[in-house]
Each structure stands twice: as C-alpha cells, then as structure tokens.
Amino acid sequence: MSMTTSWLLHLYPAAWRERYGDEFAALLDDCRLSPLNLLDVLRGALDAHLHAEVLTGRLLPMLDRLRRAEIAVFCAWVAFVVAGLGFQKMTEYDDFMEATRAHPLIGISFTAIQAGSIVVLLAVLVGGLPLALAALRYALAGRRFDVALLFAVPLAAFATLAAYLFVALHVANGAGASHRGPTAHDRVLAIGLIAVLILGAVASPWAVSAAISRSQVAERWYRFARIPALVTMLAMAVMCVADIVWGLALRAEAPHLFAGNGGVLATSTALSWLRDAGVMVIATVVAVIAVCRGLAPREPGATPANAQSVAS
C-alpha cells in the first residue's frame, strides 16, 4: 500500500476502514489518482463520516432517517427558543402586560405562547434526555473522549454566558445606572450579550447533535423520542400562529405599543415582532419537514442484508 493510499484511507472513519479498507486500498493502488479522483475520494470520506453507521451496517437506514429528523427538530427548537427570548424580553414591560390583560386576543395568544413553551420544553426533555444520556454513557464506556468532550460545549456556553452577564452587570453598575434609557456603553454590552447567546445557541445544539450522531444509541430511544418530537413540532406550530396573532392583535388593539420601541435595545416593536415571527416560522417549517420526512411511516424498503440495529 502506497503512502498516499494509506493517508487517504485514514480520512475515512475507523468502522468504515474495518469493513472496506483493504479492498478500497487495493482499488486506490490500481487506479490512477488524478485530481478528480482525489476530490472524489475526499467527498467519499466526508460521506462516510456523515453516514458511517449506516454504511457499515451498524444502523438501519430507517433509524438513520429517524435520528436525523429528531436532531433537525431539536435544532429548530433551539432557533425557536432564541426568537422566543426576544419575544419574552419585549413583553415583560408593564405596558405590554397591561395590554395582555385588557385585550382578550392579545391575552389568549400570549398565554398560548407561554403554555406552548412549557409543553415544548417538557417534550424536548422527555425525548432528548434519554438520547443524550445514552450517548454520554456510550462515550464514557467506550473511552470516546472526542464524543464526551462535545457534551462540555453546552456547559461551556452556559458558563461563558453567566460569566459575561456577571462582568457586564458589574461594568454597567460601575459606570453608574442611568434612568434616561440605555447609553452607548449599555448597547455595546447588550450586543455582546446577544452575540454570546447566539454563539452558544449555535454551538450547543451542534455539539449535542454531533455527539448523538457519533454514538451508538439503542434503537428504542430513537423510537421513544418520536412522540416528543411530534409534540415539539405541533407546539411550535401553535406558538408560531399565536405569535402572529399576538402581533396583529397588538397592532389593532394597542397601536401605540406596536409603533413604539419596546424591542431589545429599544428597537422597533414592529420590526422585533417581525424578526421573531420570521425565525419562528422558519424553525417551524424545518421541524414540520423533518417530521414529515423522518417520522412519517413509509413503505418499507429493501431489507438490509447485514444491517443490525444497535442493541446496547
């Protein structure tokens, strides 16, 4: 085996090499490694990493579909939560709460969003925790520290956010509190806070999803998570509609609030609502597509010849 072949082979996952390594190395030694072939091998290695367990028979294609759908719903939920935080921040002021009490449509839609957020949080915990714990157990038992370290990302993101909040509050209080609205100094701190929050919201679900994808998690946990994933998608759809109704009702019933600057960093209420509703709609559409593609029963395909579902 040439050095180049050996190097290229090591781009593939160990499980894939174990099954196809020798014959693939023979093929690479036989054929001329043109730049196009080299690119093709690189693409093949990426594909093998993305679908390692399916390609090596450790995971049924159906289960892979289910896993990808559940991960997509989880990531969509995280995006939804980030938009929901903007909504929550905007509606915490007294005048918004007063409008919630005074106008039934605003109140009902606001209550639907709050109730939905509790339902969806519980669904994500019920469906996601067993998967995350099973993946963590796999990582620790198999000494897969590359996988175990991924679980440290959400903790690190949370610690970074807490540390930033602590320092920002300290700096803001040290600079002297102003009663005349946010200063330029406060705005910089708040923009930094939003950046840290968004970075954490991107990195955390990516890390947890990658950890679960790289772990051998028992099939029953993926199957168990189907109902929570469906509930999550439905609750997101309800909240999405409720958020749109809330904005339209606010515009009709309390136009002075809608035209005001109640958004984060005293930005336009209308634009903040549009932004949050836009993110919620996109996240909900992603979740609906994932559920339709991954969780809907499908006519069984050809039976895998040597596929074995993970029993652990």
Partner 1 sequence: MATDLSDLGRFSDPSLLILASLAGGPKHGYAMMEDIGQMSGVRLGPGTLYGALARLEQRGLIEAMPAEDRRRPYRLTGMGATVLREQLRSLEHFATTGLGRLAAQ
Residue 29 has, within 13 A of its CA and on its CB side, a CA count of 10
* 309 in contact with partner 1 (CB under 8 A): no
Figure out which of the listed residues 25, 190, 193, 244 binds partner 1, where binding follows CB under 8 A: 25
CB of 230 to partner 1, least distance (A): 22
Instruction: Give the residue with the Cβ less far from partner 1, 14 or 162.
Output: 14
* 14 in contact with partner 1 (CB under 8 A): no
Instruction: Give the residue with the Cβ less far from partner 1, 37 or 111.
Output: 37
According to CB under 8 A, which residues from 175 to 234 bind partner 1? none
Instruction: Give the residue with the Cβ less far from partner 1, 6 or 37.
Output: 37
Task: Report the Cα 157 to chain-centroid distance in Å.
Answer: 14
Cβ atoms within 10 Å of 255's Cβ, excluding its own: 11
Among the listed ranges 40-48, 133-141, 166-174, 225-233, the one in contact with partner 1 (CB under 8 A) is: 40-48
Instruction: Give the residue with the Cβ less far from partner 1, 48 or 134.
Output: 48
CB of 256 to partner 1, least distance (A): 53
Among the listed ranges 52-60, 174-182, 184-192, 199-207, the one in contact with partner 1 (CB under 8 A) is: 52-60
DSSP 12: S
Judged by phi (left if over 0) then psi (alpha if -120 to 50, else beta), residue 290 lies in alpha
Contact call for residues 66 and 223 (beta carbons, < 8 A): yes
* 40 in contact with partner 1 (CB under 8 A): yes
Among the listed ranges 56-64, 127-135, 164-172, 219-227, the one in contact with partner 1 (CB under 8 A) is: 56-64
Name the nearest CA neighbour of 119 among 227, 236, 281, 280: 236
Figure out which of the listed residues 43, 101, 185, 187 binds partner 1, where binding follows CB under 8 A: 43
Figure out which of the listed residues 4, 6, 37, 312 binds partner 1, where binding follows CB under 8 A: 37
* 61 in contact with partner 1 (CB under 8 A): yes
Buried b (16+ CB within 10 A) or exposed e, 69-80: bbbbbbbbbbbb
Name the nearest CA neighbour of 303 among 130, 89, 62, 122: 62
The CA distance from 80 to 41, in Å, is: 38
214, two tokens: 């790289």
| Amino acid of residue 28 | L
What residues line the site for partner 1 (CB under 8 A)? 16, 19-20, 22-28, 30-31, 36-37, 39-45, 47-48, 54-57, 61, 299-307
